[in-house]
Amino acid sequence: MGPMPETRLKPTPPFYMCAVDLFGPLVIKDAVKKRTHGKGYGVLFNCLVSRAVYIDVPEGYDMGSFLMVLRRFVSIRGYPRKMISDAGTQLIAAGKELQKVVHTWDWEDIKNFGKARGMDWQTTKSADAPWENGCSESLIRSTKLSLETAIGSAIMTFSELQTVLFEVSNLLNERPIGTKNCDPTEGTYLCPNDLLLGRASTRVPVGDWDDCKDPRIRWKFVQRVVNTFWRRWTRDFFHTLIIRQKWNHERRNIQNGDIVIVQDSNNVRGQWKLAQVSEANPGSDGKVRDVKLRYKNLNQDPKYCGCPDTVVCRSVRRLVVILPIEEQV
């Protein structure tokens, strides 16, 4: 397993390092014609450092509706320095219907929209590799469980669904992100709302408050809240990022020319493709994690008429090496 990215190990403003993913489809009924139903999808933005969440729903399937959600997000939280996402059919949490629609989007226009405002948009390299955007996938799972518990099979209007998603995002921001602290002088557990709101929940805070109108006192109060969050973040949450929970055993690096079987989650096991590694570039630590494969899409015709190679990018965790380059004659 690779080392934790440096962007997740340094204190930053909320949503400065961000990831986005889509999920759905969600059934929506018309506000006027109650019997008319449509479909939408959810967009989840999450901060890679503080693990805060922002969830919204666009009005349509087109790329313009997604950009409208992105503009609403940055108007509240500001433009991130880096945005990580899947592209096109690489979406895992989204349904097949949404995958087909998103595949028609021009992702270069989306990247240019952020690049013009100083945002670096980065897409995952390999398809069918949900762990490369695992931060978003785990939060989408929690979002779906919350929606299933809150609304069940009920069908809501666009405004009602958007309100529910906002409240779900607030509940996710109240979740603990660090280890349990037994010191009563340190207050409650650490959660993303401690940085966003200055308190764990949206309820009215109780306690003695200074009524002085001196702006210097207010500035010191805000600065104390932020410093307290990052001090507790370093003590209760940072050390949990260092532990590698899986993929601890080192294996042979896949090399150019290896013959592999491509494990595809959409196909039956006996129908996996046979491919050859055409490009294997190691990472900063010398380990190969993503490779480019070439294979031929053969039809049922026994006569081979010649067809061009298809080149795809896959994670090494989806490959089975059957003939290494060293054993080929």
CATH code of residue 153: 3.30.420.10
Last residue within a domain, chosen from 132, 150, 173: 173
Residue 110 and residue 17 in one domain: yes
Contact yes or no for 284/255 (Cβ under 8 A): no
Residue 142 and residue 116 in one domain: yes
* Full residue range of the structural domain in which residue 268 is found: 259-327
Last residue within a domain, chosen from 144, 173, 202: 173
Residue 118 lies inside a defined structural domain of this protein: yes
- pLDDT over 90 for what percent of the chain? 16
Most confident of 47-61, 179-193, 306-320: 47-61
Residue 251 lies inside a defined structural domain of this protein: no
Residue 246 lies inside a defined structural domain of this protein: no
Most confident of 82-96, 213-227, 306-320: 306-320
Residue 130 and residue 264 in one domain: no
Which pLDDT score is estimated for 286?
85
Which of 166-170, 267-271, 285-289 bottoms out in mean pLDDT, i.e. has the lowest?
267-271
Residue 220 and residue 294 in one domain: no
Residue 202 lies inside a defined structural domain of this protein: yes
Residue 42 and residue 130 in one domain: yes
Which pLDDT score is estimated for 48?
92
Residues in the chain, how many?
A: 329
Residue 10 and residue 154 in one domain: yes
Residue 25 and residue 169 in one domain: yes
Averaged pLDDT score across all residues of the chain: 82
Contact yes or no for 328/258 (Cβ under 8 A): no
Which pLDDT score is estimated for 156?
87
Which of 12-26, 197-211, 272-286 bottoms out in mean pLDDT, i.e. has the lowest?
197-211
Neighbours of 266 (CB within 10 A): 8
Residue 168 and residue 237 in one domain: no
Which pLDDT score is estimated for 169?
92
Residue 254 lies inside a defined structural domain of this protein: no
Residue 104 lies inside a defined structural domain of this protein: yes
Residue 305 and residue 279 in one domain: yes
Q: Kindly give the residue spans of alpha helices, DSSP state H, lying in 93-185.
A: 96-103, 107-115, 134-150, 158-173
| Rounded (10°) angle between helices 158-173 and 134-150 | 120
Q: Which residues, 6 or more positions from 209, have their beta carbon under 8 angstroms from its beta carbon?
A: none
Residue 1 lies inside a defined structural domain of this protein: no
- 245-269 tens-digit pLDDT: 777 778 888 999 999 998 877 677 6
Q: Place 328 in a pLDDT band, splitting at 50, 70 and 90.
A: confident
Distance CA(123)–CA(132), nearest Å, equals 10
Residue 14 and residue 125 in one domain: yes
Residue 20 and residue 65 in one domain: yes
Distance CA(237)–CA(84), nearest Å, equals 22
Which pLDDT score is estimated for 9?
86
Residue 84 lies inside a defined structural domain of this protein: yes
Report the domain count for the chain: 3
What are residue 87's phi and psi, to 5 degrees? -130, 135
Rounded to two decimals, the pTM is 0.80
Distance CA(295)–CA(278), nearest Å, equals 10
Q: What is the DSSP letter of 49?
A: T
Here the contacts of 291-300 (C-beta below 8 Å, separation 24 or greater) are: 291/254, 291/316, 291/319, 293/260, 293/262, 293/319, 295/262
Which pLDDT score is estimated for 301?
61
- 41-59 tens-digit pLDDT: 899 999 999 999 999 998 8
Q: What is the DSSP letter of 56?
A: E
Is the pLDDT higher at 133 or at 15? 15
Residue 80 and residue 153 in one domain: yes
